[in-house]
A and B are shown apart, each in its own frame.
Chain A
Amino acid sequence: MDKRGNLLDVRQLRVIFHTYRGLIKALNGVDLWMDKQERLGIVGETGCGKSVTAQAMMRLIEEPGKITEGEVWFENRDLLKLSEDEMTKIRGREISMIFQEPKSSLNPVFKSGFQIKETLLNAKKATPANAEEEVEKILGYVGMDASRVKNMYPHELSGGMAQRVMIAMALATQPKLLIADEPTSALDVTIQAQILELLSDLTQKMGNAVMMITHDMGIVAEFCDRVVVMYAGNAVEVAPTKELFQNPIHPYTQGLLRAVPRVGRPGELKAIPGTVPDLVDPPEGCRFHPRCDYAFDQCKNVLPPLLEISAHHYVSCYLCQKDGCPSAKKAGEEPW
């Protein structure tokens, strides 16, 4: 099979959740891929399935959720076909994760040093003899006073410190891929910048690929090589960062970029009209059609495939097949 990325290739990933309200079709055939050492951004409104995608890749979807379809090729293994034991060896060793709420992501009853040490030992990246030393080294890498911090419990750490511990823990095992699920959203603005810089430096040095899940277009612009835009359980547009900002094609991406306030254009923050669809009863066809200015009949029947419309630029929209892509200029807007 032709892999679209040499590290990761997620194909047609579908996840559902059984709830009392009905079946939530959370992921509706997500496609995304990454090369080694690449930094991929995943953006989209809240509830569009960013976190579920990451968790499904790690096979951490739990009851009432279920992965119903898809492939997650990581190097040359389909993670969805591995046994639970084999998968346990991928988690934390080859793919690590950090989360939005660093303080509640650390276990309150264990010292931070222990939690890092445990990860190292579990991944066999240290021996009981040198583990302590390794922990101090790693805490040093993330810019902390190791001898003090390793003996601190999570409730004694600030949010920024806790996220540094999480980063230390995640990168300690030198994973090939780090999934960062909104790693800075819960932090103060000044701390956000520091954490982002730290992540950037460390992963650059160590050569980890990073999947950055975020709401923040600023972070995407600064940090990511390439971006996946998700809408209601689908990847709707995939492009290199610069290309996406200069030439957003999917009507949803255009709306998303228009909704970002920009210097020099105060008061122009435009929200996308309409609301996020209910995933229990999502719109047929292109899930964006009820909110799309361009929607036509075809949009309402079958989900448009994700097609490469120019080099490395993929879009899932029928307009591109019909009468040319709806470029931002055509929509009467300045380009980003």
Chain B
Amino acid sequence: MNIWKYLIKRILLMALVLFGVACIVFFIAHVIPADPVGAILGGNAPPEKIDKLRAQLGYDRPLIEQFFSFLKGAVVGDFGVSIKTNNPVMTDIGIYFPATIELALVAIIISIVLGVFLGILSAVHRNKMVDNFSRVFSILGVSMPVFWIGLILILIFYYKLDWLPGGGRINFFLDPPQRITGMYLFDSLFTGNWEVFRDALLHILLPAFVLGYNSTASIARITRSSMLEVLGQEYIRTAKAKGLKKRLVIYRHALRNALIPTITIIGLVFGGLLEGAVLTETVFSWPGLGRYITAGLLSLDYPAVMGGTIYIAFIYSLANLAVDFLYALLDPRMRT
């Protein structure tokens, strides 16, 4: 199969998935037996006022009509106006999303580096100390709830040791860097604002590690098992028989093959990261999209919830698309 054909197929599939998500989100928002208008106006509001607000928000139109106008808006990124903040939802997303994606990116970088490294070590020193350590680490990672790890680490590194800040994106007394991408680390790097960069880095370490712990564990496990499998392959024997040093055998001949399944997992866990962001952001008072959606849910701010969710689904699909592309680059069998 041609790689371009393959990618086009994937993009079409992605559109289909997003359509599905839109349907589900819309459906759920409208079957929940809670009334946003009531929530805004309170239980004792006069009926005329309620009707007026309903009409204003468009909730009086037939459901199907509401659905289509919602879809039409979603395609161009118009999710309506947030009931709570009174901003267009897209504007809010623009404000909150950079914090989330920054957190997710740092988390995925930590988990890829740490996970792949642990996975390789584990496989190469199978059943030795390193392997056992990394397996325990992995099992803890996939079995402990995110918020619990988060709280424990805050307890240790903030309350007890006071090495790292306990929450937020930046020290209260520092001004955020000039906004370019909205990601503090990048922005402070671009503007050469080292004090802010250092502070933002310290702030992001704990939440990113906590958010990425689960993925680190998954990546380590997959890398270990695929590395073990690859190390037993005949072409590895060839590589050794032709006199390559152990380092080359592992990092050139084995790793490249072992990473193919790892890449797939990275795509999947990235989705998990965005999902985990909701909890992590709450625990670390990280002002991101996850918290925005949670707050929206609690105040029945449906446009915010629907818009935020679809946006995250969109980013998730995009990440998977990128992974498919990488996959094809790594594995020549996918290209022809």
Chain A residues at the B interface, C-beta cutoff of 8 Å: 58, 60, 63, 84, 88-93, 96-97, 99, 101, 104-111, 118-119, 122-123, 153, 155-156, 166, 169-170
Contacts and interface: CB of A to CB of B under 8 A. Distances in A.
B251 interface: no
A109 B332 contact: yes
A88 B240 CA distance: 8
Contacts of A99: 234, 237-238
Interface string B235-248: 10111111111101
Given A109-B331, A109-B332, A104 B245 contact: no
A91 B241 contact: yes
A294 B134 CA distance: 58
B336 A156 contact: yes
B256 interface: yes
A92 B243 contact: yes
Contact of A106 (B238, B245, B330, B333): B238
B11 to A, nearest CB: 25
Interface in B102-140: 126
A88 B249 CA distance: 12
Contacts of A60: 237, 240-241
Nearest to A100: B234
A166 B237 CA distance: 13
B156 to A, nearest CB: 38
| Residue of B233, B235, B246 with highest tally of chain A CB at under 10 A | B235
A169 B235 contact: no
Given A60-B237, A101-B234, A156-B336, A108 B242 contact: no
Interface string B319-330: 000000000001
B240 A91 contact: yes
Contacts of B331: 108-109
B243 A93 contact: yes
Nearest to B332: A153
Contacts of B256: 107, 109-110
Given A84-B246, A119-B242, A153-B332, 18 more contacts: A88-B244, A89-B243, A91-B241, A92-B242, A93-B243, A99-B237, A99-B238, A107-B256, A109-B256, A109-B257, A109-B332, A111-B332, A118-B242, A118-B244, A122-B244, A122-B248, A166-B238, A170-B242
A123 B248 CA distance: 14
Nearest to A92: B243
Contacts of A166: 238
23 contacts: A58-B241, A63-B126, A84-B246, A88-B243, A88-B244, A88-B245, A90-B243, A91-B240, A91-B241, A91-B242, A92-B241, A97-B238, A97-B241, A101-B234, A104-B233, A104-B235, A105-B235, A106-B235, A107-B256, A110-B256, A118-B244, A123-B242, A155-B332
B253 interface: yes
A247 B240 CA distance: 40
Given A104-B235, A108-B333, A96 B241 contact: yes
A108 B235 contact: yes
A91 B243 contact: yes
Interface in B222-238: 233-235, 237-238
A96 B242 contact: yes
Contacts of A93: 243
Contacts of B248: 122
A227 B242 CA distance: 26
Nearest to B231: A62
Interface in B246-269: 246, 248, 253, 256-257
Contacts of A109: 256-257, 330-332
A263 to B, nearest CB: 35
A3 to B, nearest CB: 24
A17 B241 CA distance: 20
Contacts of A97: 238, 241-242
Interface in B67-97: none
Contacts of A63: 126
A150 to B, nearest CB: 14
Nearest to B257: A109
